[in-house]
Amino acid sequence: MNVLETLLKRKSVRAFLDQEVEKDKIKTILESAKHAPSGVNTQPWMVGVVSGSKKKTIETKVIQAFENGEQARMDYQYYPLQWNEPYKSRRKTTGLLMYRTLGIKREDKEEQAEQWKANYRAFDAPVVLYFFIDSALEKGSYLDYGMFLQSVMLAATQLGLGSCPQAALAEFPDIVRKELDISKDKVLLCGMAIGYEDLGAPINSYRTERIPLEDFVTFYN
């Protein structure tokens, strides 16, 4: 599989087999991804690889906080406070398509809440990667981190693993930091579910569309 094929094959996987992921594969993924570029070679990434009982503890505490009505509060503002077009429509279309794929009706708030809790379980993937960055770093390092995250997902795809980058896994950062003994000066950027894709799960047939090239590219001569 070449890079172009891997880019097209990668997708956000939201249902996984109950199958352990080999530790050597995770190491290979991260060894490869660490070669992503970063400004003045800062290499701003810090990764927590979580599985087993530790994963269960974190997700249980996060879901409990969610069910208790605690306010989700990421370390940084991920989404805009005011949605404008075309982003508002893209967001709505994506959500409706996912619920339609799962057979969840718009008025079924209970089912929607249950599906949202699946985010906090990392869709029952056997491994979660938590990504941290030093709070002293600025926006350029966040750009660098994006290249690292993409590298992780492409390497996972190459090795036959599914992945799903998740902002939801960073909605209760204090819980995660406490459980992983991470200092408060480290920002929790996001999490990522890693595992073997359940090819028979309807949710994994869900694919978002990409806009045509002419909608976002201009050639200048």
User: 96-121, pLDDT tens digit by residue?
Assistant: 888 888 888 777 778 887 888 999 99
For the chain, how many structural domains are there in total?
Answer: 1
pLDDT, mean over the chain: 95
* Residue at 8 is within a domain: yes
* Residue at 214 is within a domain: no
pLDDT of residue 19 exceeding 80: yes
What is the token pair recorded at 51?
A: 């599985």
* Residue at 219 is within a domain: no
Give the alpha-carbon dihedral of 103, 106, 108, 113, to 10 degrees.
90
Task: Give the CA count within 13 Å in the CB-facing half-sphere of 72.
Answer: 16
* Residue at 164 is within a domain: yes
* Residue at 221 is within a domain: no
Domain residue limits at 45: 3-208
Segment 154-162 shows an average pLDDT of 98
How far is CA 63 from each of CA 30, 39, 57, 108, rounded to the nearest angstrom?
28, 37, 10, 19
What pLDDT, on the 0 to 100 scale, is given for residue 100?
A: 86
* Residue at 175 is within a domain: yes
* Residue at 216 is within a domain: no
Range of lowest pLDDT (51-65, 139-153, 197-211): 197-211
pTM of the model: 0.95
* Residue at 79 is within a domain: yes
Confidence band for 14, pLDDT divided at 50, 70 and 90: very high
What is the token pair recorded at 172?
A: 């209760």
How far is CA 104 from each of CA 96, 119, 143, 198, rounded to the nearest angstrom?
9, 16, 35, 20
Residue with tokens 């201009």: 218
Separation of alpha carbons 93 and 95, rounded Å = 6
What pLDDT, on the 0 to 100 scale, is given for residue 162?
A: 98
Domain of 98, CATH number, reads 3.40.109.10
pLDDT of residue 187 exceeding 90: yes
Range of lowest pLDDT (84-98, 165-179, 190-204): 84-98
